[in-house]
Structure 1
């Protein structure tokens, strides 16, 4: 695989048409699309290339008792941050800096946003409408599902309309799904399959899912989609991907209308300027606004592309709500490391009293055998009995819950603390509002009713006071048609600079309650088409 080798030459690319910052799913898809169209593309990635051949070793390290080494190398001065506001935000808990980005460790669930998600202001007089609607993204959603090799049954009665089935067959329901199905039917809750960006059958040299169950943080087989697939494809088309070169700032011309270069640093401490005709920021919902703020100049004292003041603001995430317990029967927990059944019945909002809810039947309830063994003091037969007693009859329901955009939730710079290159670290200012709390409470209410119908002894609840983020960083460079209130236009080009585009979830206007990667992919393909047309 061409994507496994670390860069040896980190000097700039001459005569580049496009410079992309970030080699996660957004950057990889844009690079692949534009390189295939014949453009000279260079991708600058802050983190290293992780060798796919070492996936099993990484999985073993993750499971080995007493090994607290970060699986993907996060932490230290490079990744320093601060958190303020009403809730602490554990930013590094689910970030990856490296070629492949978050797809190296993500869950792999991929859903389309609902039609209502694009028009919350028009329908409910809350938040803002997107400047595009579902129909605009519909063909790009289909293309994204093909690109990510999504497995699904296309059986969701609440989902928006689609023109063709999912590319791969769906994964069958798990055994615990059948236990949930009976209770949900009694409560008139409609369930359906979960689209997953993992191979249900072999494709293009990648194996089918073999059920290790360690999907997060490591898929040892490579069956789950990872952006290296499109990094490799882009390189085969002539793109160049340079790893371990964190971009320090973007420079602009004298008129302030165009970006002229991305300034980056090599591991040896050399500083280079990468020039290009078009620039794309695809560094995620935290590092993208941070880089824009770091790129302040005399002409742009508040940061680049920030004439609206919206860069870094309207930070959103999804919140988790959950209820779990035990049954007096075996549930085969942990036999599947990802969700196969969910319900969107409570997703669309009837009024402005709550946000969207995506209910999930969890296949990874309770502890894994390795977790029990790590906490045990027993050995031999005694340990085996302890594992048997603590494993195998757990059930749980989860939910992703919507958080509406608020200007006070934001990514800004903490100028009192610097990273390993002397730059101010990102500060996450985050809190929950009453509407989000009500939505979590409603999710818990539904979850309790299902587990009670199953006859489970409820042992834990994750509610408004114990909830945490899903690490879906959205909204910090929002899309819109008004330059005074948004950062990018419907083609994801910044209002302030004619040759700077942004790809990723930072452009989301609202977040819904869907895992964002499929929408990231669809928007990235849309942005690539617009850039191709300009070139």
Structure 2
């Protein structure tokens, strides 16, 4: 069932066992899993069926720190959520991403990847993904990896018919859960605004917050300020440890034989460090990508290379006239260390139409991010040289420690952390089952639960975790 507002929903008499706030990939996945278990749920979405600037305005906010995208442009507020931005790239987090790494502060999940692996098949089905190919070792340090570029799923479009036909899922559009109310360790209701007017509350025995990697923190922070009892009783970590995937082009790459490393049909190829290499070099996880781009004027390129990398220029000259793919670019995307100072906070003076404080995002890349960029490119380049596959010329701004460019992508539009998973409520918000510490009936879904981020585009992992949460709620029904 799909209702256009809260009034239509109330007139139906629908009685949910679970109320899910947010109808993006995580919220829709949880709802579909509950429906399979015959558990009725309400699925609230603050937007409508399609994009509108009026709805999108609620996402305006301020970033303090490094340059970042406009906050109302980096996510979407309508049915299906930010899946409307997804370009199809994805991969599950690696097993070692879940492990404690002593050179990365605050790393280590309370669960291993084996906890979500039973849900990989469901995630692949939901997203229309083939099986991922095994990593292909190139050296002891670097492996060729399979990062899928699939046809991106727009959750609002793909599942609208199923949601409309379901007797167990009530989608309530244009209904903004402004805050949650709690009493004695339980959420009692979601206070709502529907069609831009106060519309009372929605009750349910259990609640799931699935509004996205920024809005999850915003909703819970504001709920803690407005509820007579705390919604997150132990809130030291709430909004903190926020992460992105920094993403920049890093240099020119010259490759003789793309057959040496299993390139994709379009010539793109992805590589990642082995766990041993990360441990030895004390680097965070990253992926390097070769992006073929043919240049003219090979002699000019050779001369430029000779000025900055004579050994590479000598190799290139020796290969001249052979099957040389010169002029490609190499890019790097990497994980960010989870630090408490990177956080989502509430504005003290800016509010949306409903009177809810807008977001202030505090985000800055540190020395470990800079080291992973430079040393990661060096490590990748060393493998290419040792295996006589190619040579890399790292861009000057990286070699000399210059400012990050602002005319590149900057980051992946991947919002992670803020309600991170931890056994310790002083460093996390949810436990290993995605339940908020100190609460009996409140859960969080989406990438805000990520403890660390790896390098993988997060959609597949988000969906696997959401499917797992839906299964857990079905197994522990009241």
Which bin holds the TM-score, normalised by the shorter protein?
0.7 to 0.9
Count the aligned residue pairs.
Answer: 428
Shift of 1:465: 2.4
Q: Secondary structure at the match of 2:328?
A: strand
Mapped contact 2:213–2:446 kept (Cα < 8 A): yes
Aligned partner (choices 346, 354, 361) of residue 290 of structure 2: 361
Q: Secondary structure at the match of 1:285?
A: coil
Mapped contact 2:252–2:328 kept (Cα < 8 A): yes
Mapped contact 1:7–1:242 kept (Cα < 8 A): yes
- Provide the residue aligned with 2:124 in structure 1: 145
* RMSD across aligned positions (CA): 3.6
Alignment deviations for residues 506-525 of structure 1 (CA, whole Å, 9 cap, x no partner): 11111111111111111111
- Provide the residue aligned with 1:501 in structure 2: 443
- Provide the residue aligned with 1:490 in structure 2: 432
- Provide the residue aligned with 1:437 in structure 2: 370
Aligned mates of 2:85, 2:143 — CA distance in 1: 30
Aligned mates of 1:74, 1:397 — CA distance in 2: 39
- Provide the residue aligned with 2:301 in structure 1: none
The alignment status of 1:311 with 2:238, answered yes or no, reads yes
Q: Secondary structure at the match of 1:295?
A: helix
Alignment of 1:170-319 (within 5 A): 190-196=143-149, 198=150, 223-228=151-156, 229-238=158-167, 239-253=169-183, 255=184, 257-267=185-195, 269-297=197-225, 304-319=231-246
Shift of 1:416: 1.0
- Provide the residue aligned with 1:466 in structure 2: 404
Q: Could you say if the C-alpha distance between residues 262 and 338 of structure 1 is closer, same or farther in structure 2, counting changes exceeding 3 Å?
A: farther
The alignment status of 1:95 with 2:75, answered yes or no, reads yes
Shift of 1:483: 2.9
Q: Secondary structure at the match of 2:120?
A: helix
Aligned mates of 2:403, 2:83 — CA distance in 1: 29
Q: Could you say if the C-alpha distance between residues 338 and 23 of structure 1 is closer, same or farther in structure 2, counting changes exceeding 3 Å?
A: farther
Shift of 1:272: 2.8
Alignment deviations for residues 462-512 of structure 1 (CA, whole Å, 9 cap, x no partner): 787225221211110011222333211111011122111100111111111
Q: Could you say if the C-alpha distance between residues 460 and 419 of structure 1 is closer, same or farther in structure 2, counting changes exceeding 3 Å?
A: farther
Alignment deviations for residues 259-294 of structure 1 (CA, whole Å, 9 cap, x no partner): 111112122524231111111111111101100111
Mapped contact 1:145–1:518 kept (Cα < 8 A): yes
The alignment status of 1:37 with 2:32, answered yes or no, reads no
Q: Could you say if the C-alpha distance between residues 346 and 365 of structure 1 is closer, same or farther in structure 2, counting changes exceeding 3 Å?
A: farther
Aligned partner (choices 419, 437, 453) of residue 477 of structure 1: 419
Mapped contact 2:288–2:331 kept (Cα < 8 A): yes
Alignment deviations for residues 344-380 of structure 1 (CA, whole Å, 9 cap, x no partner): 23566214732111112337999xxxxxxxxxxxxxx
Q: Could you say if the C-alpha distance between residues 339 and 410 of structure 1 is closer, same or farther in structure 2, counting changes exceeding 3 Å?
A: farther
Aligned mates of 1:365, 1:284 — CA distance in 2: 39
Shift of 1:155: 3.1
Gaps of 5+ in 1: 51-70, 159-183, 199-222, 367-391
Alignment of 1:126-137 (within 5 A): 126-137=105-116
Q: Could you say if the C-alpha distance between residues 299 and 496 of structure 1 is closer, same or farther in structure 2, counting changes exceeding 3 Å?
A: farther
Shift of 1:445: 3.6
- Provide the residue aligned with 1:16 in structure 2: 16
Q: Secondary structure at the match of 1:284?
A: coil
Shift of 1:79: 2.2
Mapped contact 1:84–1:429 kept (Cα < 8 A): yes
Alignment deviations for residues 5-45 of structure 1 (CA, whole Å, 9 cap, x no partner): 95695444642111111111100100101012111111111
Mapped contact 1:32–1:233 kept (Cα < 8 A): no
- Provide the residue aligned with 1:67 in structure 2: none
More strand by share: 2
- Provide the residue aligned with 1:409 in structure 2: 342
Aligned mates of 1:104, 1:337 — CA distance in 2: 25
Of residues 449-458 and 108-117 in structure 1, the stretch that sits farther from structure 2 once superposed is 449-458
Aligned mates of 1:273, 1:352 — CA distance in 2: 53
Gaps of 5+ in 2: 259-263, 296-324
